[in-house]
Amino acid sequence: MVLSMVDQHKPKCYLCSNVFENLDELRKHQELDHKEFFDQHKGDHSPAPGDVTVF
């Protein structure tokens, strides 16, 4: 499989692979189209096993 190098500088939604012109459009898209995913995973930011805290 060959991946295109076009638009590599533009933000991309990691859930549906849509490409957007800027981060604001990406945020709006994720808030509207993937709201249930982000609501379900909100607060799941605990450290993974093996993570190291640097002070």
Is residue 18, in this structure, part of any structural domain at all?
Answer: yes
Is residue 53, in this structure, part of any structural domain at all?
Answer: no
The reported pLDDT for the residue numbered 6 is 67
pLDDT digits (tens, 9 = 90+) for 18-34: 999 999 999 999 999 99
Assign 3-class secondary structure to the chain. Answer: CCCCCCCCCCCECCCCCCECCCHHHHHHHHHHHCHHHHHHCCCCCCCCCCCCCCC
Q: Return the percentage of the chain with pLDDT > 90, whole number.
A: 44
CA neighbor of 17 nearest in space, from 40, 42, 43, 4 = 4
Is residue 49, in this structure, part of any structural domain at all?
Answer: no
The reported pLDDT for the residue numbered 41 is 80
Is residue 51, in this structure, part of any structural domain at all?
Answer: no
Is residue 12, in this structure, part of any structural domain at all?
Answer: yes
Task: Give the domain range for residue 13.
Answer: 8-40
12 beta partners = 19
Tally of domains within the chain = 1
